[in-house]
Amino acid sequence: MDGMSTEPAAEPRWLSDEEQYAWQSYLHATTLLEDHLDRQLQRDAGMPHVYYGLLVQLSRAPRRRMRMTELAQNAKITRSRLSHAVARLEKNGWVRRENCPSDKRGQLAHLTDEGMHVLEKAAPGHVAAVRGALFDRLSPEQIGQLAEICRVMADGLQPKGADLPWLR
Partner DNA sequence: CACCCGTTATTGAAGGTTGAACAATTCATG
Partner DNA sequence: CATGAATTGTTCAACCTTCAATAACGGGTG
Minimum Å gap between C-beta 20 and DNA is 22
Among 46, 99, 157, 160, which residue sits at the site for a copy of itself (rule: CB under 8 A)? 157
Q: How far is CA 62 from CA 55, 66, 102, 108, 166, in A?
A: 13, 8, 16, 12, 22
Least separation, in Å, of the C-beta of 45 and DNA? 11
Contact of residue 84 among DNA, a copy of itself, none (CB under 5-8 Å per partner type): DNA
What is the smallest separation between the CB atom of 135 and a copy of itself, expressed in angstroms? 5
Report the Cα–Cα distance between both ends of the chain, in Å, rounded. Answer: 39
Which residues make up the interface to DNA (CB under 7 A)?
35, 38-39, 42, 47-48, 50-51, 67-69, 77-88, 97, 100, 103-107, 162-163, 165, 168
Which of the listed partners (a copy of itself, DNA, none) does 124 bind, with a CB threshold of 5 to 8 Å by partner kind?
A: a copy of itself
Helix, strand and coil percent figures for the chain, each rounded to 5: 60, 10, 30
Question: Considering CB distances under 5 to 8 angstroms, the limit depending on partner class, which of a copy of itself, DNA, none binds residue 115?
Answer: none
87 binds a copy of itself (CB under 8 A): no
Hey, which residues between 115 and 154 contact a copy of itself (CB under 8 A)? Answer: 123-124, 127-128, 130-135, 137-138, 140, 142-154
Sheet holding 65-67, edge to edge: 65-67, 107-111, 95-99
The alpha-helical segments, DSSP class H, found in 61-109 are 68-75, 79-91
> Residue 80, interface with a copy of itself (CB under 8 A)?
no
* Integer Cα distance of 156 and 69 in angstroms: 21
Please, what is the minimum distance in Å from the beta carbon of residue 4 to a copy of itself?
16
Q: CB-side exposure of 49: number of CA atoms within 13 Å?
A: 14
Angle (deg, nearest 10), helices 79-91 and 68-75:
110
